[in-house]
Structure 1
Amino acid sequence: MAANVKTTSRKASRYAVPVVVVGVAVATVGLVPAFANASGPDLPKVTAQQLIEKIAASDTQQLSGTAKISVDLGLPSMATNLLNRGGISGGSADPQDKLAQLAAGTHTFKVAADGPDRQRLTFLDGKDEYSLIHNGDEAWGYDSKSNEAFHEKNAGARAGEKGKEHKTADRLGSSPAQLAEEALKAAGTTTDVSVGDTAQVAGRDAYQLVLKPKASGSTIGSVQIAVDAKNGVPLRFQVLSSKGGKPILDAGFNKIDFAKPAADTFTFTPPKGAKVREGSDASHGDKAQRRMDSLPIPGLDGLTGAGGAGKGETTVLGEGWASVARIDSGSGKGLKDFEGKANEKGAPKEAKQFLDSLGDKVTGKFGSGRVFSTRVVNALITDDGKVYVGAVDKDTLVKTANAGK
């Protein structure tokens, strides 16, 4: 059954409950057996619009429990290794580093929330622990392995406020609830919205809201949101591939309690001897930029502003699930230049590895180039320095590039 999605006003605090952090999509090994029974519970029938309104009306702000996030984007090993080493910023206690790791593999963590101003997330991967704590205007990140701490004042500042940047609290705020909200905002005339089979998630009866592309060409088969039948809290968020197989992203609870967490859950004092770095450390940002600039990707210098270029220009072609971004680096450097440098004597081995990971040559009205493919994203890198990228299959990507030339 399809439904039109109506815009419903929401209180920001309703979507501040942290369950998992996706940085991305945006989240997996098959977690369905761990979360759902083979036959779902018998629940009263609801329409898609009623279920959307139930999510919007939920005012649950306190919870604690354990959750998992598992991501299988089909990235090449070089990119996966970079993420698992801690992203690009180079600081083991920095939230940016830890959260980047969520873009690949499976991770388990404890979560707690008491409204939009108090949240805690503790990674349980291996014997070492990493915790993120947001309490009012302060945030801490602590890595037990290195005994390093990251501290940030005014952690609640939101992006978009004049003079403000993304803060740790923003990164902690991503959750199945927020993922659901963003998915529903994006659902329009290109999306079928329906109610799927019921399920049990973390021992709770749940409805499942299903979003599917109306047209072909997307690598996304559907988005499925498991919604608590009693209080409307999204308990699990899944992104499924149009080609089947295990989910691309699976983020959700395996245990949850809606009681108010103890106040001391959100307090933190660095252990004796811990090295503490303040979030305002300017050298940190410089190090992140240098590492980003060193990545062997053609045209990246123009997109990131290295060498004073900064002429990147992006145009969106198509609409909805089949939209493609066309990026012109403005650097004057194309794939041919990169291929030449990658094959030079003494070139970094990562450059050759990246080149080898690209697909076959393609040609069209756009010119010629190579297609880089993952389970989710296909990217066409042209010889003249343009990039066409989208969550669409190869044929749709090339067709869109031809039409958008």
Structure 2
Amino acid sequence: MAPYESGDNTGAAEVDDLPTGRRKAARYVVPVAVVGVAAATIGLVPALADSGDPDLPKISAQQLIEKIAKSDVQQLSGTVKTGTDLGLPDLGGLESGLVSGVARSGDGSSADPTSKLTELLTGTHTLRVAEDGPDRQKVSLIESAAEYSLIHNGKDVWGYDSKSNEVYHGTAHQDAKGRKGHTEEPPATPKDFADEALKSVDDTTSVTVDGTVRVAGRDAYKLLIKPKQSGTTVGAISIAVDAKTGMPLKFTLTPSSGGAAVIDAGFTQVDFARPAASTFDFTPPKGSKVTENDDHASKGSGKDFPKRGDGLAKGLEGDEFAKGLKGGGGFDVLGKGWNTVATFDTGSKGGLPSGSAGGDLGGFLGSLGDRVTGKFGKGTVFSTRLVNALITNDGKVYAGAVTKDALVKAANAAK
């Protein structure tokens, strides 16, 4: 195992010295966690760091990771700006339409959190967040002349879309161990992103302390995560860690191809004082349409407010995730570390849809990709600045945070 190195190569520690929770499923979480992170938002925001490098005591990468692991912030309020730049082609708003259609395909309410939060798949977003322990959280998505709020207060979960004046109401359930239910929503805060990134750390990764920075008016250390392997599209991940609380304040992922960040999420303002109790109060406005989903929540459908940071990660841990990949209709995992490729068989021969059923869809999709050949046969690679996917003519899919050449190599090796 390669050591974690501090900026001056002091205080090195082995990966196996990390808390157990930080080493779960390192082999499997890439590229799926990275894909999940990348899918959280599409857009680009400016750098969120303040000017000036604070003078802080030296700390090793091992100590900084342990500081993150021990961080237990229970109360906060603040503003988060998030966005990514995957370099997707301009489809004239088609992406937004598709996302909106998916969002409306559930219970039909625009206030349903599992539908509304899919809007984070596109655009640049500003979120207001507040938390007071495990039973009170609020996230507000600030939109043009409108706002969507998701509120968890005790047993109640409320979603309110001011644009449509629709309300969602659910009940937070508990499992047999007394844990509150949560939904598999996209990451939203820097902590959510950081939790996912740290799971990918193994002996194929270099981790160092890269100086200090000020974020949202607070002193922070910079943790730098870089793949040692070639063939990955991930260049580096930088996490600004609050020097006092150990909570991640900013997350930036840059691609190996260079240029602007693919993902940039950070607090522009944060306060660790307890929010006012009224922050979490909600009464449906007069004339609003209220959709009740108590039955779904009590059965654990996932339509409940998550504990912050427990969304996407929950399905990516340990043996349960590995079994899910290997199970019927699931994924197989090829490669190691940052060069991991997820693959599955669609069961559909002929590659991209075509003919009368697909109309011109196959030709349209094909125009967005690159035709490739190899021992595996023929196929099309669809590329972004982070996540790439190869669809072969015999119906197999290979996807990962790897280059086009790495995908072709993986497909050849799988034959």
Same fold? TM cut 0.5: yes
> Hey, what does 1:367 align to over in structure 2?
377
Q: Is the 8 A contact 2:210 2:222 kept in 1?
A: yes
Which residue in 1 is equivalent to 2:250?
236
SS at match of 1:375: coil
In the alignment, what sits opposite 2:166? 148
Alignment partner of 2:329 out of 312, 315, 321? 312
Q: 1:87 to 1:77 in 2, by over 3 A?
A: farther
Q: Is residue 2:68 matched to residue 1:58?
A: no
The 3 A distance-change label for structure 1 pair 92 and 279 is: same
Matched residue SS, 1:124: strand
What runs of 5+ residues in structure 1 fail to find an aligned partner?
12-21, 283-309
Cα distance in structure 2, aligned partners of 1:62 and 1:23: 30
- CA deviation string 1:335-385 (max 9, x = no partner): 16x233477xxx3x655433322x232111111111111111111101111
State whether structure 2 residue 219 is matched by structure 1 residue 205. yes
Amino acid corresponding to residue 57 of structure 2 in structure 1: P
Match of 1:8 among 19, 36, 42: 19
Aligned-pair CA distance for 1:83: 5.9
CA distance in 1, matches of 2:70, 2:180: 30
Q: 1:173 to 1:324 in 2, by over 3 A?
A: closer
Report whether the alignment pairs 1:45 with 2:58. yes
Deviation at 1:84, TM superposition (A): 5.7
Alignment pair present for 1:188 and 2:202: yes
Quote the residue 1:327 is aligned against. 344
C-alpha contact (below 8 Å) 2:366/2:380 kept by paired residues = no
- TM-score normalised per structure 1: 0.79
Q: Whole-Å Cα distance in 2 between the matches of residues 373 and 173 of structure 1?
A: 22
Structure 2 residue 364 is matched with structure 1 residue 353: yes
Could you report, residue by residue, the CA deviation over 1:275-312 in whole angstroms, capped at 9, with x for unpaired residues? 11123688xxxxxxxxxxxxxxxxxxxxxxxxxxx963
Q: Does 1:220 align with 2:231?
A: no
Aligned equivalent of 1:305: none
Q: Is the 8 Å Cα contact of residues 206 and 228 (structure 2) preserved in structure 1?
A: yes
Instruction: Supply the AA of the counterpart residue of 2:255.
Output: S
Query: Which letter does structure 1 place at the counterpart of 2:66?
Result: E
**Do 1:342 and 1:355's aligned partners in 2 also have CA atoms closer than 8 Å?**
no
In structure 1, the partner of 2:399 is: 389
Q: Write out per-residue CA displacement over residues 174-228 of structure 1, whole angstroms, 9 at most, x where no aligned residue.
A: 5322332332222011111111131110000100111111111111111111100
Could you tell me the percent identity over the aligned residues? 52
Change (3 A) 1:30 1:66: closer
Q: CA deviation at 1:314?
A: 1.7
User: Can you list the C-alpha shifts for 1:107-153, whole angstroms capped at 9, x where unaligned?
Assistant: 01211001122110111121111101011222111100100011111
CA RMSD of aligned residues (A): 2.8
Task: Tell me which residue corresponds to 1:85.
Answer: 100
Are the equivalent residues in 2 in contact too, given 1:69–1:252 (CA < 8 A)? yes
CA distance in 1 between partners of 2:235 and 2:173 (Å):
35
Cα contact 2:45–2:82 (8 A) shared by 1: no
Q: How many angstroms does 1:253 deviate by?
A: 0.5
Q: Is 1:400 matched with 2:410?
A: yes
For 1:5-56, what per-residue CA distance to the aligned partner results, in whole angstroms no more than 9, with x for missing partners?
A: 3332679xxxxxxxxxx99214552432x3232x421211110001011112
**Residues matched between the structures, number:** 354
Q: In structure 2, how many angstroms separate the alpha carbons of the residues matched to 1:260 and 1:202?
A: 18
Match of 1:110 in 2: 128
Question: Aligned residue for 1:286?
Answer: none
In the aligned structure 2, how far is the partner of 1:133 from the partner of 1:387? 38
Output the amino acid matched with 2:138: R
Whichever residue aligns with residue 65 of structure 1, its letter is G
2:84 is the counterpart of 1:71: yes
Q: 1:339 aligns with which of 350, 354, 364?
A: 354
Moved more, 380-389 or 181-190: 181-190
CA contact (8 A) 2:127 2:142 kept: yes
**Bigger relative contact order (CA 8 A; separation at least 6):** 2
1:149-173: CA deviations, max 9, x gaps?
11111x2547xx79x99645x6498
Instruction: Using the TM superposition, give the Cα deviation of residue 323 of structure 1 relative to its aligned residue in structure 2, in angstroms.
Output: 0.6
Kept in 2, the 8 Å contact 1:239–1:248? The answer is: yes
- Conservation of the 8 A alpha-carbon contact between 1:238 and 1:249: yes
Give how far 1:81 is off. Answer: 2.2
Question: Given the two structures, how large is their TM-score scaled by the length of structure 2?
Answer: 0.78
Go from structure 1 to structure 2 and tell me whether the alpha carbon gap of 1:53 and 1:355 turns closer, same or farther (over 3 Å shift). Answer: same
Residue 36 of structure 2 corresponds to 24
Cα displacement (A) at 1:85: 3.1
AA at the equivalent of 1:229: A
CA separation of 1:49 and 1:369: change in aligned 2, threshold 3 A: same
